Chain A
Amino acid sequence: MKEREYMKKTIAFIIMLLAAVSVFADAALTADVLDKVMSSVFEVLVEKAPEENLEYERELPLSRIPFSIRSDEYSPIGTAFLMEDGNFYSAAHVFNLNLNNFYKKHYIRDRNGNVYPVKDIIQYASDRDYISFSVEGFTAPEGAGLQQADEQINIPVFSVGNALGDGIVIRNGLLTSKTKEDRAGAWDWLRFSAAASPGNSGGPLITSEGKVLGIICMKSENENLNYALPFDELLLAPKDYGYYMTEFDYHVPVVQGESFYHRYEKEFPLPQSIEAIQTMLMTDYTDYCATIAKDLQETFRPGGKRGFDQLPGIAEIVTDSANHTFPLLLFSNEKDNWVFGAPSNITTKKLSDEGFIKSGNMMGLNFAVLEKPETQSLHDLYSSRKGIMDTLLTAISYTRSVDTESIRITSFGEPVRSETYTDYFGRAWMVDEWDISFADKKILSFILPGPSGLFCFMGLYPSQNVNQGGLEDLKLIADLVVVHCSASFEAWEEFLALTDEGIIGRPASLAGMTIEHDAESYTIQNNEFCLTVPSSVQAVKDVTKLTMYERFCRNDDGQMVKKARHIEILPTTRESDYSYIQMYMYSAPLAGATKTTQQSWARITNEVAPYDGVPYNKDNYTYLDEIVHIEGHDDLVAIMGFELLGQGRNEEVRAFADAVEQGLIFKK
Chain B
Amino acid sequence: MCYTVDMKRKFLFTAIMFIMMMTMVPLAAEEVPFRKGMDGVFGPDEPDTGKKTPSYTTSRGWNGWIPWLSELGCSRKSQKQVLKALLDTGILYTAVSYEKDVTQLRPSTFEPLMVIQKAPDVPGIVIYGFLKDDPHYYVYISYKPDGSFYQSGIGYYDSYDLFLDKYGRKTMEDVWDDQWDRLSDDARYACAFSSNLISANGHSLYTFKIYDSNDNMISTLESGWNCHNIQDVLDEIETLSTGGHHGSYNKMKAMLEDNPDKSVMDIARDYMLDNRDIMRLYFVQEMKDRLGEHGIEAWDDGRSICLLRWAAEAGWISQEEAFERTKPITARIRNSYSSWEDFMAHYIAGRGFFTLTDLNVESMQNSAFGFVEEFRNDDKFSTLPMLSEADNPNPILKLEDAFYTANAEAQRWNECWDYFNTEPDNVRQLLIGQLWLSFYPDIPCVYMFNLRNYFALGKYSQSLPLFRKAAHCFQVPDSPELMEAGTLYDEFWYDWMILANNDRKSEEAKVAAAMVMRTDNLDIVSYNLGLSYLHQIGTAPTQEKNDFYREKAAEYMAQAVEEGYDVPENILAYLGITE
List residues of A whose CB falls within 8 A of some B CB.
150-151, 183-184, 186-187, 232-233, 235-238, 247, 260-265, 288-289, 291-292, 295-296, 299, 305
Known: A184-B503, A232-B427, A235-B428. A261 touches B462 (CB 8 A): no
Contact A186 B542 (CB under 8 A): no
* Contact call A262/B459, Cβ cutoff below 8 A: no
Which residues of B lie under 8 Å from residue A183 when comparing CB positions?
A: 504
Residues of B within 8 A of A247 (CB): 538
Q: How far is the CA of A187 from the CA of B503 in the complex (A)?
A: 11
| Contact flag A184-B502 (CB < 8 Å), given A235-B428, A235-B431 | yes
**What is the minimal beta-carbon distance from B446 to any residue of chain A, in angstroms?**
18
Given contacts A184-B502, A238-B465, contact A295 B430 (CB under 8 A): no
Q: Are B538 and A261 in contact (CB under 8 A)?
A: yes
10 contacts between A and B (CB under 8 A): A184-B502, A186-B503, A187-B459, A235-B431, A236-B430, A261-B537, A265-B539, A292-B541, A295-B542, A295-B544
Q: Which residue of A lies closest to B434 (CB)?
A: A236
Considering only residues 522-537 of chain B, those with a C-beta below 8 Å from chain A are 537
A260 to B543, CA, bound (A): 9
Given contact pairs A184-B503, A186-B503, A233 touches B462 in the complex (Cβ within 8 A): yes
- Please state if B462 and A295 are interface contacts (CB–CB under 8 Å): no
Contact yes or no, A184 B539, CB < 8 A: no
When chains A and B are docked, how far (Å) is the Cα of A151 from the Cα of B541?
41
Q: Does B354 contact A (CB under 8 A)?
A: no
The reply to whether B465 and A288 contact each other, CB–CB distance below 8 Å, is no
Residues of B with C-beta under 8 A to A291: 541-542
A236 close to B427 (CB less than 8 A):
yes
Measured CB to CB, the nearest residue on chain B to A241 is B465
B138 CB–A CB distance under 8 Å: no
Q: Given contacts A261-B538, A288-B541, A295-B541, is CB(A236)–CB(B459) below 8 Å?
A: yes
Spell out B's residues near A (CB within 8 Å): 426-428, 430-431, 459-462, 465, 502-504, 537-539, 541-544
Nearest A residue to B502 by beta-carbon distance?
A: A184
Residue of A nearest to B537 (CB): A261
Q: Which residue of A lies closest to B539 (CB)?
A: A263
**B541's closest neighbor in chain A, by CB?**
A291
**A184 touching B461, Cβ below 8 Å:** yes
CA distance A265 to B502 in the complex (A): 15
**B462 is contacted by which of A187, A260, A299 (Cβ under 8 Å)?**
A187
**CB-CB under 8 A for A184 and B504, given A235-B427, A261-B537, A288-B541:** yes
- Contact for B541 among A150, A238, A261, A262, CB less than 8 A: A262
Closest Cβ of chain A to B38, distance in Å, is 56
Tell me, in angstroms, the Cα distance from A305 to B546 when the chains sit together.
15
Question: How many angstroms from the CA of A247 to the CA of B465 in the assembled complex?
Answer: 22
- Name B431's closest neighbour in chain A (CB-CB): A235
> Once bound together, how far apart are the Cα atoms of A394 and B202, in whole Å?
103
Closest to B505 in A: A265
Known: A235-B428, A236-B427. A186 touches B541 (CB 8 A): no
Q: Pick from B430, B460, B502, B538: contact of A260, CB below 8 A.
A: B538
Q: How many whole Å from A569's CB to the nearest CB in chain B?
A: 45
Nearest chain B CB to A287's CB is how many angstroms away? Answer: 8
A31, chain B: closest CB distance, angstroms: 30
**Contact across chains for B538 and A262 when beta carbons are under 8 A apart:** yes
Q: How far is the CB of B134 from chain A (nearest CB, A)?
A: 58
- A-chain residues with CB within 8 Å of residue B465 when the two chains form the complex: 238
Taking CB atoms, residues of chain A closer than 8 Å to B426 are 150-151, 232
Q: What are the nearest 8 A-B pairs in CB distance?
A: A186-B461, A291-B541, A261-B538, A236-B462, A232-B427, A295-B542, A292-B541, A238-B465
CA distance A261 to B542 in the complex (A): 11
In the bound assembly, the distance between CA atoms of A295 and B541 in angstroms comes to 7
Check A263/B538 contact, CB under 8 A, given A184-B461, A186-B461, A236-B427: yes
A residues in contact with B460, CB < 8 Å: 186
Q: How far is the CA of A296 from the CA of B502 in the complex (A)?
A: 30
Give the chain A neighbours of B461 by CB distance below 8 A: 184, 186-187
- With a CB–CB cut-off of 8 A, which chain A residues contact B431? 235-236
In the complex, chain A residues whose CB is within 8 Å of the CB of B542:
291-292, 295
Distance of A77 from chain B, by nearest CB (Å): 28
> Measured between alpha carbons, how far is A261 from B427 in the docked complex, in Å?
35
A299–B542 Cα distance when bound, in Å, is 10
Which of A150, A236, A291, A295 has the most chain B CB atoms closer than 10 A to its own CB? A236
| Minimum Cβ distance to chain A for residue B424 (Å) | 12
Q: Which residues from chain B contact A305 at a C-beta distance below 8 Å?
A: 543
In angstroms, Cα B541 to Cα A264, docked, is: 9
Interchain CA distance A497-B175 in the complex, whole Å: 130
Question: By the criterion CB–CB under 8 Å, are B541 and A299 in contact?
Answer: no
CB closest residue in chain A, given B427: A232
Beta-carbon contact of B543 and A299 below 8 Å:
yes
A288 CA to B428 CA, complexed, in Å: 39
Alpha-carbon separation in the docked complex, A288 to B539 (Å): 10
Please, how many angstroms separate the alpha-carbon atoms of A285 and B430 in the complex? 35
In the complex, which residues of chain B have a beta carbon less than 8 angstroms from the beta carbon of A299? 543
B538 partner residues in chain A, CB cutoff 8 A: 247, 260-263
B158 to chain A, nearest CB (A): 57
In the complex, residue of chain A having the shortest beta-carbon distance to the beta carbon of B507: A265
Extra contacts, 6 of them, besides A260-B543, A299-B543 (Cβ < 8 A), are A186-B502, A247-B538, A262-B538, A262-B539, A263-B539, A295-B541
Q: Select from chain A the residue with minimum beta-carbon distance to B454.
A: A236
Cα distance, A265 to B505, chains bound together (Å) = 10
Q: How far is the CA of A261 from the CA of B539 in the complex (A)?
A: 8
With the chains together, A574 CA to B114 CA distance in Å?
A: 123
Give the residues in chain B near A233, CB-CB below 8 Å.
Answer: 462
Residue picked from B460, B461, B537, B544, most chain A C-beta under 10 Å: B461
A186–B459 Cα distance when bound, in Å, is 7
| Nearest CB in chain B to that of A296: its residue | B543
- List of B residues within 8 angstroms of A150 by Cβ: 426
A238→B505 CA distance, assembly (Å) = 15
A514 → B minimal CB distance (Å): 43
Residues of B within 8 A of A264 (CB): 539
- A289 and B427 contact, CB distance less than 8 A: no
Taken together as a complex, chains A and B put the C-alpha atoms of A265 and B544 apart, in Å, by 19
| Docked complex Cα distance between A235 and B433 (Å) | 13
Chain B nearest CB: distance from A357 CB in Å?
A: 37
Chain B nearest Cβ from A229, distance in angstroms: 12
Contact partners of B504 in chain A: CB under 8 A: 183-184, 263
Q: Which of B502, B504, B537 has the most CB of A within 10 A?
A: B504
Say yes or no: B543 contacts A295, CB within 8 Å.
Answer: yes
Min C-beta distance of B532 to chain A, whole Å: 13
Residues on A with beta carbons closer than 8 Å to the beta carbon of B430: 236
Closest B residue to A248 by CB, please name it: B538
Q: Closest residue to A239 on the B side, CB-wise?
A: B465
A283 to chain B, nearest CB (A): 14
Q: How far is the CA of A117 from the CA of B426 in the complex (A)?
A: 35
Distance (whole angstroms) from the CB of A421 to the closest CB of chain B:
20
> Which residues does chain B contribute within 8 Å of A295, judged by CB atoms?
541-544
State in angstroms the CA–CA spacing of A183 and B504 once bound together: 10
Give the residues in chain B near A262, CB-CB below 8 Å: 538-539, 541
In the bound complex, residues from chain B placing their C-beta under 8 Å from that of A265 are: 539
* B-side contacts of A292, CB under 8 Å: 541-542
Give complex CA distance A291, B462 in Å: 31
The smallest beta-carbon distance between B455 and chain A, in angstroms, is: 13
Which residue in chain A gives the minimum CB-CB distance to B535? Answer: A263
For the complex formed, measure the closest distance between the CB of B335 and the CB atoms of chain A, giving whole angstroms.
59
Question: Which of A184, A233, A247, A261 has most B Cβ within 10 Å?
Answer: A184
CB distance from B502 to the nearest CB of A (A): 5
State in angstroms the CA–CA spacing of A356 and B456 once bound together: 73
**Docked CA distance A151–B428 (Å):** 12
In the complex, the chain B residue whose C-beta lies closest to that of A184 is B502
CA distance A187 to B428 in the complex (A): 16
Residue of B nearest to A148 (CB): B428
Alpha-carbon distance A261/B538, docked complex (angstroms): 5
Question: Chain A nearest CB: distance from B50 CB in Å?
Answer: 52
Q: Chain A: which residue is nearest B463 at the CB level?
A: A236
C-alpha spacing A235/B426, complex, angstroms: 11
List the B residue with the shortest CB-CB distance to A293. B541
Most buried by A among B427, B503, B504, B541: B541
